[in-house]
Structures are given as C-alpha cells and as structure tokens.
Amino acid sequence: MATFDRRAFLRTSGLAGLALGLAACGDNGTTTTTSSSGGGGGFGSVKLQLSWKKNVEFAGEYFADTNGYFKAAGFSQVELLSGGGSGTSVESGLATGRCWAGLSAPTITAPAVLQGAPLKIVGATFQKNPFAIISLSKNPIEKAADLVGKKIGVQDSNELVWNALLKANGIDAAQVTRVPFQSDPSMLTSGQLDGYVGFVTSGPVNLRMKGHDPAYLLLADAGLPLVAETFTVTQETIDNERDKLKAFLTAEIKGWKDAVANPAKAAELAATVYGKDQNLDVKEQTEEAKMQNELVVTDDAKANGLFTMTPELIEQNISSLSKAGLTIKAEQLFDLSILNEIYQADPSLKLS
Amino acid sequence: MIGRTVLRIVGPLVPSVVIVVAAWWLALEAFGISPLVGKRPPQVWEYLTASQAHREAVFGALGITIRDAAIGFVSGMAAAIVVAVAFVLLRTVEQTFMPVAMLLRSVPLVVMTPLITLVFGRDLLGVAVIGGIVVFFPALVNIAFGLRSASPQATDLIMAYGGTRFTVLRKVAVPTAMPAVFASARISVPASIIGALIAEWLATGEGIGAEILRAIGGFRYDEVWADIVVVTGVSILAYAVVGVVEALVLARFSDRRPG
C-alpha cells in the first residue's frame, strides 16, 4: 500500500513540475473586451498582446478602439491582452497562436527569430529607445561607467537589453550586482537598488510625483539606439493576410495620431477606462504621455508617418542587436513594406 | 539488506519517470503547443548533448538550486524539530506560538518575500529563511504530533522510575516520532526545491529559479525545458534517497515495520 502511495505521489509531483513549466508559458494576462456592439467587417476578432500592463504606453490602441477605428477597418473586435508577466511574451504568444499581433521590442523578437520563429517587425511605435537606467540624483548613474559596483534591478524580460548595454560599454557582468526586480520603484527609494532598467517615460515621472529627485541614463545615449513597442506579427500574416494587417495598422495609425495630439485624453483613457484596475494617476499619466510623444513623434516620423523606420534607423537597430550578441540581418527581422504601401496609398495618414 | 531496500524503493521510480515523460509529450501534442515554445523530450536531449556550454548553463544553475534547497531543507527541518520539542516539553509555548505560526503560514510566501529580503538580505541567510518557511510548518505539525503520540504506559514507567520529562522525550517520544520525522522529510524535499526556486526568483537572482525566467525572456525555451527536467529529476531522486534512509533508519529505530 505504501509503495502505491509513493508512486502516486511521485507521479503527481512530476506532473506538478510539468504544470509549473506549462504555467510559465500559459496565458496569465488579463483581458479586456473592447466595445464591440454590432457586426464589424470581414476581419472578425483578433487579439493584440501588449508588452506591458495597460497604461498610457498604449494610448494609440485605446484611441483606435474608443474612436471605432478598429471597427471601421473591418474588425469586429481587437482584444487588448495585458502583458508584463513572464509568461505573456508576444513571441511565445504568436508562436502558439494565442495572439494575432503583438507589441514587443527588437531585443525580444530577434532571439525568437534566430531560434526559428517565423516572425517580423512591421512597424515601431517608439522611434527612440525609452529604456533607461533610472536612479536617484543623490546617487546618480549618468553614464555607463557609473554602473560598475552598483546594484541594478533588471526584469527578466529585459535580460537582453541589459546584456546588450553591458556589452556595448565593455562592462563585465560580474562588475555589476544584478538584483531580481519586478516593477516596484520603491526598491530604489528604500536603498535596495542603486538603479533599475525601466522606461524613461514612467519611472522618473512616478518618482517625481512621490517627491524624489530622479536621474536617468537613456540607453540610446549609452550606445544602444533601439526602437520599442514594435508591431510583431507572423510571416504567415504578412504573406496571407496582408490586407487585414494593413487595415489593422491603418487603424493603429489613426489611433496614435489622436493619442499624440491629446495627451490629457490619452491619460484619461488609460487611467479611467482601459487600465482602470491599475490605479493609475491621471496627472502622472498625462506627464508620461507628453514625454513619450517625444519618442513617438520624431522628425522622421513627421516626414514619413508614424511607426515608419528609415533605413538608417533599421541599420542602427541591427548594430545595437549585434552588440547584444544577436547577429541578424535587417531583412530577417524587419519588413516595413506594409507600412510603406499604406502611406503611399493614403498620404493623408501622415502627420500634417 | 541495503541493496534490497534501495531496489525496492528505486524500482518503482522507473515507471514513474516513464509516465511523467509520456505525459509531458502527450500534453504538448494534445494541446498542439508549437515546438518553438513547448519542447519535446528529444529536443531537450538534443539541447543537453549538443554543447558543453548548454550543460554548464543548466547544471551550473542546478548546482546552485540544490545548494539553496539543501539550505532551506536543513534550516526548516532543524527549526521544526527544535520548536516541536519545545512544544512538547512546554505546553504553554505551543498554545502561544501555534496560532502565530499558522497565521504566518497563511500569508503567501511570494507576498512575504520582499519583506524577508529587506530584513535578511539577498544572500544565503535570505535563502535559508525563505526555504525554511516552506519546509518548517508542515514539518512542525507532523513532528509535534509524532512526539506527542508517545505511549502513555512507557511514559508512566519512566516517570515511576524517577525519570524526568527529558528522559521521556529521549527514550520514548523521539523513537515514536521517527516515522513522523521522515514523513515530514519526504514532504519537505519537493517543498524545499519550490522554496529555493522562489528564493532564487525573487531574492538572489541565481540558480534555476532565476535562469528559467531569463531563458523565457531570451526565448531560450530549450533551456527552460531542460531546467524543468533536471529540477524534476533531482526532486524525484532526493525523494527516493529520503525513502531509502527512512527505510534503513526505521528498521533499526522503531518496532514498526517500515513500509
């Protein structure tokens, strides 16, 4: 009898181990159903996996949904899947068919492509890298060399960005103490961290609101120019659903045009509608929205349209990735032809 | 004798391993999980045999996790034994501390971890506390119960001959509690590994608990699955080792036949 118990137990414990693994890949993002009364066009309902929790970073998506651009483009519904957990990566979601498109970053998409996942980046919301090392000005990290000997909080999903930063600046990983970090800036103010890797749009604003004096080092200024919040889709979507993808990106362009024009409304949508459960502060989100506009609306984006990438920008990204040890060709990772076709067909979509 | 015991306990593990591997494979196929994310057994084997660097990544992290789990296991079991003895010797201690202990237990460890790291730091002491907490509570309840189920007749006999409560503990309660100690040890083996993984994820940032999430961040699912396999394997193995030790010790220590 005891033997049976032991075996039964082992079987369960083994399965529990498996379940642990499966759960790590499982969907733990919360979903929000978008307003979708009435039948849309022929594209049905799709899921868009966001790269982070629902805050003002996704203002364009909120506008595209609220103002009915998705519906007008023929989607009955675009479901925005909240991200931020370790199991919610866009790349694994696309590979397993859990989402149709996602907002990610080249440092996350490139390794997936190199592992054989048939994915492409078809546009970039943030033209400039919003990643920064955020610290306090009483103990500031203002250049890469300042990192040596410091305790830095790095999220697991930012693993590659972090490694790239160290490599680009010739810093040995052993010279910096990397501390496990989720997303709690209070670890910085309580002195457990000297700095952390985060978006420059959110951390400093948050710290300032709480009465601290933040300092930051933009990764773009530390030898790592990269785009962010990139639209990632499968190659199959590009090949077989080109019209659907064009309709989607067109709605996104319209949404983001509204978002950059109206930071206050963007913040309100984030704090009171889409990210309601996040306890966001409208004032803080407004500041973030204003700050992120500078990363979204660059001179190139003004000239060529939102989300577009110039050949020089693509080249910079490829070279940043190679610093991270990711040797990948531009045509393996980027396909901007869809956006180009959209803007050629309708130049009025550009920012006027 | 030892050889037979080992065989009797390790033998049934073989079908267990087969079942676990089959379940892993079948589950992935049944749910149609893409091989890019859900790696199958042959892919994990290929990953581990392909290069020395892969093995170093996986087994290096595993070594740290085993160390962390051992620290948690030992500190948790030691604390549980000490506290259980105190409970049995001093009834008021139990009445005072048991509710506090249970209260502490009902707070999820993930929530407590930031506080623990703040107080005890992020190195081995923190690991000992986090791992120890996982092991401590079930072991405490089990061992205290085992110590208290000492035969009243034997206790009376020792008292009648002028023995103290400590003599009773040593001569009667401890041998009686041995099966309970080992039952807790067996439960605690997988628990201590879970504790180590939590500590590594949230506190130390090294070992399997940290590497597995970094591997997900870097889309290295080969490594993720290899990590899962080795950690599960170690868990099963450690469980079997405790089983063997238990059988040998109980055969000597207790009048109860080990089963």
Give the start-to-end residue ranges of the domains of chain B: 55-253
Check CB contact of B207 with chain A, cutoff 8 Å: no
**Interface contact A184-B218, CB threshold 8 A:** no
Query: Is A232 near chain B, with CB under 8 Å?
Result: no
Domain that holds residue A155: 131-222
From B73, B70, B97, select the one nearest B83 (Cα to Cα). Answer: B97
Strand partners, A214: A136
Position A329 scores a pLDDT of 95
Same domain, A137 and A118: no
- Using CA atoms, how far residue B84 sits from A39, B109, B152, in Å, is 66, 22, 19
Is A8 part of any domain?
A: no
Residue that has been written with the tokens 């089990």 in this structure: B142
Integer-rounded Cα radius of gyration of chain A: 21
Strand partners, B137: none
Q: Is residue A42 part of a domain?
A: yes
Query: Using the beta-carbon criterion (under 8 Å), do A6 and B34 form an inter-chain contact?
Result: no
Size of interface A-B (CB pairs under 8 A): 124
Partner B contacted by A111 (CB < 8 A):
yes
pLDDT at residue A311, rounded to an integer: 94
Is residue A294 assigned to a domain?
yes
pLDDT at A272: 92
Per-residue pLDDT of chain A (352 residues; tens, 9 = 90+): 444 455 555 455 554 444 444 444 434 434 444 444 444 458 999 999 998 889 999 999 999 999 999 999 999 999 999 987 656 789 989 988 889 999 999 988 999 999 899 999 999 999 988 899 999 999 999 999 999 999 999 987 787 888 889 988 889 989 999 888 877 778 888 888 999 998 888 888 888 888 899 999 998 888 888 999 999 999 999 999 999 999 999 999 999 999 999 999 999 999 999 998 888 889 989 999 999 999 999 999 999 999 999 999 999 999 999 988 889 999 999 999 999 999 999 999 988 7
| 101-120 in chain B: CB under 8 A from chain A | 114, 117-118
**Which bin fits B205, alpha (ψ -120 to 50), beta or left (φ > 0)?**
left
| Whether residue A252 is found in the same domain as residue A345 | yes
The identity of residue B11, as a single letter, is G
End residue of a domain, out of A198, A222, A246:
A222
For B219, which of A24, A91, A155 is closest by C-beta distance?
A91
Q: Which residue has the tokens 């990544």?
A: B57
| B134 burial type by CB count under 10 A (0-12 exposed, 13-18 middle, 19+ buried) | buried
- Which residues, 6+ apart, have CB-to-CB distance to B227 below 8 Å? B58, B61, B62, B208, B211, B212, B215
CA-based nearest distance A162→chain B, Å: 11
**Does residue A169 sit in the same domain as residue A274?**
no
Query: A66 lies in a domain?
Result: yes
Interface of A with B in 16-45 (CB under 8 A): 16-18, 20-22, 24-25
From chain B, pick out residues whose CB is under 8 angstroms from the CB of A3.
Answer: 8, 12, 259
Of the candidate ranges A293-297, A337-341, B172-176, B251-255, the one whose mean pLDDT is the lowest? B251-255
Interface pTM, i.e. ipTM: 0.72
For residue B76, the distance in angstroms to the closest alpha carbon of chain A comes to 20
Q: What is the CATH number of the domain that holds A216?
A: 3.40.190.10
Same domain? For A191 and A207 the reply is: yes
Contact A193, A267 (CB under 8 A): no
Residues in chain A with CB shorter than 8 Å from the CB of B202 are 180, 182
Q: Which of residues 84-103 of A touch B (CB under 8 A)?
A: 86-87, 89, 91-92, 95-97
Where are the extended beta strands (E) located within chain B?
none
What would the two tokens of residue A257 be? 């045009």
- A153 interaction partners in chain B (CB closer than 8 Å): none
Q: What pLDDT score does B247 carry?
A: 87
Mean pLDDT of B42-58: 93
At position B129, the amino acid (one-letter code) is: V
Residue A124 shares a structural domain with residue A243: yes
Which class is B55-253 in CATH? mainly alpha
Tell me which amino acid residue B123 is.
Answer: D
- Beta-sheet pairing, A195-199 with A101-104: unpaired
Q: Does B244 touch chain A (CB under 8 A)?
A: no
Please identify, among A192, A222, A252, the residue that sits at the C-terminal boundary of a domain. A222
Q: How confident is the model at residue B169 (pLDDT cuts 50, 70, 90)?
A: confident
Give a yes or no: residue A20 inside a domain: no
A152 and A268 co-located in one domain:
no
Boundary residue ending a domain (A173, A206, A222): A222
Interval B114-127: pLDDT, tens? 888 888 988 899 99
Distance from CA of A285 to the nearest CA of B (A): 27
* Nearest by Cα to A157 from A24, A325, A30: A24
β-bridge pairing A195-199 and A151-154: parallel
**Of B234, B215, B12, B120, the residue nearest A157 (C-alpha):** B215
Chain A, nearest residue to B16 by Cα: A11
Q: Is residue A138 packed enough to be buried (19+ CB in 10 Å), middle (13-18) or exposed (0-12)?
A: exposed
Contact call for residues A228 and A131 (beta carbons, < 8 A):
yes
Contact between B205 and A180 using a beta-carbon 8 Å cutoff: yes
Cβ-nearest to A156 among B27, B216, B221: B216
Contact criterion met (CB < 8 Å) for A10 and B16 = yes
Cβ-nearest to B243 among A6, A20, A155 = A6
A46 with A98, same domain: the answer is yes
Q: What is the β-pairing status of strands A151-154 and A177-180?
A: parallel
- Helix, strand, or coil (residue A1): coil
Q: Do both A37 and A77 map to the same domain?
A: yes
Is residue A181 located within the same domain as residue A314? no
What's the CA gap between B198 and B221, in Å, rounded?
20
With cut-offs at 50, 70 and 90, classify the pLDDT of residue B226: very high
Provide the number of structural domains found in chain A: 2
Q: Rounded to whole angstroms, what are the CA distances from A43 to A46, A78, A231, A254?
A: 8, 10, 18, 18
The arithmetic mean of pLDDT across residues B88-104, rounded, is 83
d(C-alpha B23, C-alpha B5), whole Å: 28
Task: Tell if the CB–CB gap between B219 and A15 is shorter than 8 Å.
Answer: no
* Strand ordering across the sheet containing A228-234: A31-32, A75-81, A44-49, A101-104, A228-234, A119-126
Cα pseudo-dihedral A302, A307, A309, A315, rounded to 10? 130
CB of A183 within 8 Å of a chain B CB? The answer is no
Nearest by CB to A18, which of B15, B24, B190? B24
Which helix (DSSP H) or strand (DSSP E) does residue B223 occupy? helix B221-253
**What is the rounded end-to-end Cα distance, in angstroms, of chain B?**
14
Q: What pLDDT score was predicted for residue A29?
A: 39
Q: Note whether A261 and A149 are same-domain residues.
A: no
Q: Is residue A148 a part of any domain in this protein? A: yes
Report whether A252 contacts A46 (CB < 8 A).
no
Q: Verify whether the Cβ–Cβ distance B232 to A17 is below 8 Å.
A: yes
**Nearest chain A Cα distance for residue B218, angstroms:** 6
How far apart are the CA of B54 and the nearest CA of chain A, in angstroms? 15
Same domain, residue pair A67 and A171: no
